[in-house]
Amino acid sequence: MAREIDLLTEAASHARTIVEKATNQTWELEDIREASIAGRWIEEDQLLPVEDLIDVSGPFPGCLQRAGATEEFEHYRLCGQTRHFLVFERTRS
């Protein structure tokens, strides 16, 4: 088993969107690297797959802040989770 922080670093390095469950805050790769240096989330964990693939309009369904944004990638798929984080991948609409 790997440390949770290492799983998050790997996922973020593949352009996946990482969202902390407790705060709904997105974590960029640089944020995750800083957390690793600080010794956070060092317990062993797994990137657990979700039972069914779930497509949503963003990592925060129902949030209207980005409703008018136009991006190449407009949909996200929840593809896994660790103890403290959700991992989304972007999909083309």
Model pLDDT, residue 3: 97
Question: Rounded to 5 degrees, what are φ and ψ at 89?
Answer: -115, 150
Q: Are strands 73-81 and 85-92 parallel, antiparallel or unpaired?
A: antiparallel
pLDDT at 80 over 70: yes
SS3 state of residue 16? coil
Tally of CA atoms within 13 A in the half-sphere of 12 that contains its CB: 20
Question: Rounded to 5 degrees, what are φ and ψ at 15?
Answer: 60, 30
Token output for 39: 């010794």
Model pLDDT, residue 62: 44
Model pLDDT, residue 1: 81
pLDDT digit string, tens, across residues 20-48: 988 889 999 999 999 999 999 999 999 98
